[in-house]
Amino acid sequence: VIKFVESGLNDLSVSRTSFNWGIKTPTDNNHIMYVWLDALTCYANGVNYLTDSENGLSDYWNNVVHIVGKDILRHHAVYWPAFLLAADLKLPNKIFAHGWWTNEGNKISKSLGNVIDPLEVINNYGLDQFRYFLLREVPFGNDGDFSSKALVNRINSDLVNDLGNLCQRSLTMIEKKLDSIIPGKTSKGPNEEILEKSSEEVIIIGSKMIDDFKIHDYIRLVWEHIGRVNKYFNDSKPWELEKSDKEEFLNVLAVTTEQIRNIAFFINPIIPQTSIKILQTIGIDECEFSFKTINNHNIVGNNISNVNHLFTRIQK
């Protein structure tokens, strides 16, 4: 885009006469509106920015970000801003171009017959699983390759092993050993402080990553935190503490469940169905998904309900 602009900008005709389908210009019926002028106004019209009567949607234009395919970046980053500037209208805050996907290393095309049917993938593997793979596997903005093997590896490793087992093991223990009542924390030592700091880093650093569209890095940061919570639970060995130190046993389960609540908030933009399922399991039915409100949702004394496997392991 920069090189295109630096090469020098020429006048751009906003009408066409080589065909007769489309929207005719208001001054000459022999001319058809240039599609990139006509179509892109739908962005602003979609939030009532160009209407005479403003409403609650109109304010969205002040925070708008365009996410487009890299093959139409010039139209959105050069032509569209020129149209807006000419009309004295506000520009979008950011324009982000995403990459292309290949299928098992091959270009996707109808002629090759290798078009990926998202509904088929969802039916076979699950919606959240598919969402996670697409956002985690490739840095947002780069080209990526879809493969069933890579998808299965992500599901089994990240979702089943890391997140699913953490929730299953800890919450089932509360269900069986504490009559499903989530206990309160009784102490805070160095290990608990590590988790608190890690959780704060996800909020502070992760928020910046999301603003910069570094979705891949945000997910990696969240999963590093999940890894620390898993390590805390495993190293604490609550199955042994139940017999040797009842107070510490309760504390480990309380701390782990609190972090599971935090994780449910962290993953909501990525895998929302799983996030809601976790929160409902620990007694949070409705909430505002904001990092600022996580600690407002007290879970001490809540009843654990319906502890089931979050994900099903895929047999390779």
Residue 192: inside a domain = yes
Asked if residue 145 and residue 89 are part of one domain, the reply reads: no
Average pLDDT over residues 297-301: 94
Q: Is the pLDDT of residue 286 over 90?
A: no
Residue pair 148/273 in contact by the 8 Å Cβ criterion: no
Radius of gyration over every alpha carbon of the chain, rounded to an integer in angstroms: 25
The CA distances from residue 6 to 9, 86, 298, in Å, are 8, 20, 56
Residue 105: inside a domain = no
Residue 108: inside a domain = no
Asked if residue 216 and residue 90 are part of one domain, the reply reads: no
Asked if residue 199 and residue 285 are part of one domain, the reply reads: yes
Q: Which of 250, 96, 266 is nearest to 173 (CA)?
A: 250
Residue pair 256/232 in contact by the 8 Å Cβ criterion: yes
User: Residue 98: is it exposed, middle or buried by C-beta count within 10 angstroms (0-12/13-18/19+)?
Assistant: middle
Asked if residue 145 and residue 215 are part of one domain, the reply reads: yes
Residue 110: inside a domain = no
Q: How confident is the model at residue 164 (pLDDT cuts 50, 70, 90)?
A: very high
The number of distinct structural domains making up the chain is 2
Asked if residue 283 and residue 135 are part of one domain, the reply reads: yes
12-21, 45-54, 98-107, 119-128: range with highest mean pLDDT: 119-128
5-9, 137-141, 190-194: range with highest mean pLDDT: 190-194
d(CA 315, CA 156): 9
Asked if residue 183 and residue 88 are part of one domain, the reply reads: no
- pTM score, two decimals? 0.86
Residue 153: inside a domain = yes
Residue-wise pLDDT tens digits, 227-264: 999 999 999 999 999 999 999 999 999 999 999 999 99
Residue-wise pLDDT tens digits, 206-220: 999 998 889 999 999
Asked if residue 291 and residue 192 are part of one domain, the reply reads: yes
Asked if residue 158 and residue 63 are part of one domain, the reply reads: no
Asked if residue 286 and residue 214 are part of one domain, the reply reads: yes
Q: Is the pLDDT of residue 92 over 80?
A: yes
Give the β-pairing of 32-33 and 15-16: antiparallel
Domain of 197, in residue numbers: 127-296
Please give the pLDDT value at position 50.
77
The label of the residue with tokens 């065909």 reads 19
